[in-house]
C-alpha cells in the first residue's frame, strides 16, 4: 500500500513538473497587457487576435506547418522501403542505409547544421524551403525507420505463409495482411517527424536563414527586441497541434506500443 502511494505521488509530481511550463505559457498568452504575468491579468484574447491578424506571424506559422508536413512525408518515403527491404529480404544494403540514417540523429544539431549548410552551398542551392524540408527529413528519418520497423516485426509470419499457401500473390499479401498492421506505425512515424520538424530551429536557421522564416526562427528573432505575448500564442498553437497529432495516433493504434513500450 505504501509503495503504491509513493508511486502515485512520484508520478503526480512528475506530471505537474512537466505540465507546469505548458500551463504557464498558455496562461501568459491570455494576458491583457504585454507582460509575462502568471496568473494572467485582465484576461483577454487580444494577443490571439494580434497573432492571427499579423501577416508576418501567420506566414511563419504556415511555413512551419508546410515544412513539417513535407519533411514528415519525405522521411517516411525514405524509411518505408528501407524498413521493408530489411524485413523481407534481410538486405545488407538496407541495413547499411538504416545504420547511416541513425547516425545523423545522434549527431549534435549544430554539427548537422554546418554539414547541410556546406552541402547546399556546394550545390549552389541556398536559402530555399526545400533545403530545410530535405534536411529535416534526413535528420529525423530514424524515427519512422524505428516505428515502421517495429510494425513489420509485429507481422505474424504464419499469416503471411498461410496467405501464400492459399495462392495469394505478393501484392495481395502486402495489401491485405501487412498494410493494415503496419499503417499505424507509418502514421506514428509521420507524427514524430512532424512534431520535431515543427519545433526545430538550428538546422532551419543555418540552412535557410532569413529566407525561410519558420515560427521558431520568428520567435527567436523577435526575442532580440523583447518579449511579446504573441510568442506564447505561437507556442500554444504548437502544443495544440501536438495534442491533435498524438490523439490521432492513439485513435488508430496502441500509442504506448507505438512509442516503444508495452501496454499499460
Residue ranges per structural domain of the chain? 1-44, 54-258
Is it the case that residue 21 has pLDDT exceeding 70? Answer: yes
Q: What is the pLDDT of residue 263?
A: 46
Is it the case that residue 37 has pLDDT exceeding 70? Answer: no
Name, in order, each residue with C-beta under 8 angstroms of 68's C-beta and a sequence gap of 6 or more. Answer: 136, 193, 194, 195, 197, 198
Higher pLDDT, residue 59 or 27: 59
Q: What mean pLDDT do residues 249-253 have?
A: 68
Say what the pTM is.
0.80
pLDDT digits (tens, 9 = 90+) for 79-98: 888 888 888 777 777 778 77
- Backbone φ, ψ for residue 148 (5° rounding): -65, -40
Per the omega criterion (within 30 degrees of 0), is the bond before 39 cis?
yes
Q: What is the pLDDT of residue 120?
A: 80
Q: What is the pLDDT of residue 95?
A: 76
Which band of pLDDT confidence, cut at 50, 70 and 90, is reported for residue 252?
low
- Backbone φ, ψ for residue 253 (5° rounding): -165, -175
Q: Sign of torsion, CA 16 17 19 20?
A: positive
Return the ∠ at Cα 254 (arms to 1 and 239), rounded to 5°: 90
pLDDT digits (tens, 9 = 90+) for 186-222: 888 888 899 888 888 888 888 876 677 788 888 777 7
**Alpha helix locations (H) across 90-227?**
92-106, 109-123, 129-140, 142-153, 157-165, 170-173, 179-199, 202-208, 215-223
Does the domain formed by 54-258 have CATH 1.10.1240.10?
Answer: no
Q: What is the pLDDT of residue 1?
A: 61
* Cell numbers representing residue 117 in the block: 549548410
Higher pLDDT, residue 55 or 157: 55
Mean pLDDT of the residues in the chain: 78
CA distance 22 to 25: 5
Q: Sign of torsion, CA 234 65 79 100?
A: negative
Q: If we measure between CA atoms, which residue out of 77, 117, 130 comes closest to residue 101? A: 77
* Cell numbers representing residue 1 in the block: 500500500
Higher pLDDT, residue 237 or 163: 237
Return the ∠ at Cα 47 (arms to 198 and 38), rounded to 5°: 90
Judged by DSSP in three states, 167 sits in coil
Amino acid at each position: 500500500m505504501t509503495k503504491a502511494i509513493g508511486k502515485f505521488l512520484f508520478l503526480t509530481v512528475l506530471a505537474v513538473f512537466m505540465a507546469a511550463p505548458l500551463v504557464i505559457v498558455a496562461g501568459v498568452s491570455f494576458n491583457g497587457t504585454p507582460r509575462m504575468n502568471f496568473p494572467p491579468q485582465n484576461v483577454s484574447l487580444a494577443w490571439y487576435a494580434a497573432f492571427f491578424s499579423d501577416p508576418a506571424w501567420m506566414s511563419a506559422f504556415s511555413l512551419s506547418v508546410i515544412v513539417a508536413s513535407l519533411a514528415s512525408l519525405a522521411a517516411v518515403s525514405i524509411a518505408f522501403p528501407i524498413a521493408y527491404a530489411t524485413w523481407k529480404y534481410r538486405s545488407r544494403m538496407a541495413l547499411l542505409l538504416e545504420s547511416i540514417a541513425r547516425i545523423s540523429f545522434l549527431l549534435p544539431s549544430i554539427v548537422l547544421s554546418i554539414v547541410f549548410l556546406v552541402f547546399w552551398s556546394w550545390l549552389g542551392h541556398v536559402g530555399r524551403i526545400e533545403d530545410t524540408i530535405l534536411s529535416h527529413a534526413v535528420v529525423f528519418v530514424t524515427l519512422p525507420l524505428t516505428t515502421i520497423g517495429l510494425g513489420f516485426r509485429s507481422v505474424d509470419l504464419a499469416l503471411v505463409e498461410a496467405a501464400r499457401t492459399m495462392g495469394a500473390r505478393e501484392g495481395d499479401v502486402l495489401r491485405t495482411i501487412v498494410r493494415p498492421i503496419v499503417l499505424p506505425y507509418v502514421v506514428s512515424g509521420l507524427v514524430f517527424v512532424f512534431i520535431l520538424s515543427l519545433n526545430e530551429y538550428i538546422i532551419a536557421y543555418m540552412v535557410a536563414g532569413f529566407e525561410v522564416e519558420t515560427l521558431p526562427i520568428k520567435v527567436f528573432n523577435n526575442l532580440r527586441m523583447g518579449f511579446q505575448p504573441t510568442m506564447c500564442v505561437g507556442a500554444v498553437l504548437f502544443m495544440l497541434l501536438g495534442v491533435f497529432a498524438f490523439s490521432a495516433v492513439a485513435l488508430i493504434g496502441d500509442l504506448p506500443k507505438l512509442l516503444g513500450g508495452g501496454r499499460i
